[in-house]
Amino acid sequence: MPAARQQERLVRLDDAGIRRKGRWLVRGVSFDVTRGEIVTLIGPNGSGKSTSARMAIGLLKPDEGSVDIRPGLRVGYVPQKMQIDRTMPLAVERLMTLTGTLTKREIAAALAETGISHLAKAEVQDLSGGEFQRALLARAIARKPDLLVLDEPVQGVDFNGEIALYELISTIRDRIGCGILLISHDLHVVMAATDTVICLNGHVCCRGTPEIVSQSSEYQRLFGARASGALALYSHHHDHTHLPDGRVLHADGTVTDHCTPGDGHHHGAAVADDHIHGPDCGCGHDHSRLTRSDALQKGNNDAR
Ligand SMILES: Nc1ncnc2c1ncn2[C@@H]1O[C@H](COP(=O)(O)OP(=O)(O)OP(=O)(O)O)[C@@H](O)[C@H]1O
């Protein structure tokens, strides 16, 4: 692909935020996706990944900041949840055309690309989890999108299937030359397939290339031989916690309605996937900071 085309910016979010019912769902979100790039959003449940992705493709308008989408951008989107009536007979090739017409040739090419040509006439309700994800991917790439947005594309897929699907996503990027915005919880494999990782937790917590992160000494110390994913991105110091009611508890004990991009990193929520810090956990973090359970308890007390 020519270099100029590769640098083509497809979408840019600049300090974008979404507010609902008096609460910021995400705030201060800035990132670009350029052609040929795979950008992955990671973060705990409810951290704003889907909301940010939906802003990036114009399904949600930001309440502050801006989202610039290249004029005429063709988007292929696989949402996290699909409303498909599993009791209705629906063949895979019909699923492909539910949201617009496609030629037989386009359908055949997309099914071949995703390795499910043999399932063209199969009923969607009979597909395995991995086959269903491939069918959704086929539908999303059939119109040769400029930007492919995949919200948790490996849900319900076993470990080997996950790796195969990520490889497929990279192959599709190379062949179609699209940009890809990926949302994933699969930190152990997401590193391999990604150019840029963005860690969200109500705002952008940190970002970086997988290579730089995986070579850091803290990464090696934290995760050693079992480290093959983006877990290292979760190893930085976090200095505030989002409370269940949406307010923010800061390291100095103060509670505010929301965090801001300048707040620094979160404590606990993102680290909790592995352990709660204590004097013996050996992870190298600053243990004078509040543990997640301490922080939550303190926040709850403050709220009373
Ligand atoms: N329309 C809405 N009104 C109010 N709150 C909303 C709305 N949509 C989403 N939320 C809340 O915004 C937060 C972010 O949701 P979002 O779906 O973006 O998170 P996520 O990071 O994709 O989560 P998950 O990993 O669980 O899929 C959640 O707390 C969610 O409950």
Both structure tokens of 232: 């290292």
pLDDT recorded at residue 117: 94
pLDDT recorded at residue 245: 56
> Quick one: what percent of the chain has pLDDT higher than 70?
64
Instruction: Go through the domains of the chain in sequence order and give each one's CATH number.
Output: 3-208 (3.40.50.300), 237-303 (no CATH)
Nearest to 70, CA basis, from 31, 115, 19, 12: 12
Q: What is the average pLDDT value for the chain, to the nearest integer?
A: 74
Cα(220) to centroid(ligand 1), Å: 32
Q: What ligand 1 atom has the least distance to the C-alpha of 185?
A: 25
Going by C-beta distance under 8 Å and a sequence separation of 6 or more, which residues neighbour residue 247? 255, 256, 257, 258, 299, 303
What distance in Å separates the CA atoms of residue 173 and residue 90, rounded to the nearest whole number? 28
CA distances from 99 to 140, 177, 248, 295, 296 (A): 10, 23, 41, 46, 44
Residue 32: which H helix or E strand, with range?
strand 23-34
Cα(185) to centroid(ligand 1), Å: 15
User: Nearest residue CA, atom 23 of ligand 1?
Assistant: 46
Nearest to 202, CA basis, from 122, 256, 154, 149: 256
Find tokens 């930001």 and name the residue: 62
Name the 3-class secondary structure at 170: helix
What distance in Å separates the CA atoms of residue 122 and residue 140, rounded to the nearest whole number? 18
Cα(49) to centroid(ligand 1), Å: 8
What distance in Å separates the CA atoms of residue 131 and residue 168, rounded to the nearest whole number? 13
Q: How confident is the model at residue 129 (pLDDT cuts 50, 70, 90)?
A: confident
Query: pLDDT of 201-255, one tens digit each?
Result: 888 877 777 666 555 454 444 334 444 443 333 333 445 565 555 566 666 666 7
ipTM of the complex: 0.97
Is the C-alpha dihedral spanning 180, 211, 272, 169 positive or negative? positive
> Do residues 264 and 239 make contact, with C-beta atoms less than 8 angstroms apart?
yes
Output 194 or 39, whichever has higher pLDDT. Answer: 39
> Quick one: what percent of the chain has pLDDT higher than 90?
37
Pocket of ligand 1 (CB under 6 A): 20-21, 25, 43, 45-51, 80
Nearest to 200, CA basis, from 56, 99, 9: 56
Give the pLDDT mean for 92-100: 87
pLDDT recorded at residue 152: 85
> Do residues 181 and 150 make contact, with C-beta atoms less than 8 angstroms apart?
yes
Evaluate if pTM is beyond 0.90. no
Cα(277) to centroid(ligand 1), Å: 27
> Do residues 265 and 275 make contact, with C-beta atoms less than 8 angstroms apart?
no
pLDDT recorded at residue 201: 80
User: Nearest residue CA, atom 28 of ligand 1?
Assistant: 46
Q: What ligand 1 atom has the least distance to the C-alpha of 51?
A: 18
What distance in Å separates the CA atoms of residue 124 and residue 19, rounded to the nearest whole number? 36
pLDDT recorded at residue 19: 95
Give the pLDDT mean for 99-111: 90
pLDDT recorded at residue 165: 83
Q: Which of 26, 29, 41, 51 to mutate to test the pocket of ligand 1 (most atoms within 8 A of CB)?
A: 51
pLDDT recorded at residue 188: 59
Q: Which of 24, 29, 41, 49 to mutate to test the pocket of ligand 1 (most atoms within 8 A of CB)?
A: 49
Both structure tokens of 123: 């009923």
| Residue 88, burial from CB neighbour count under 10 angstroms (0-12, 13-18, 19+) | exposed
Cα(43) to centroid(ligand 1), Å: 12
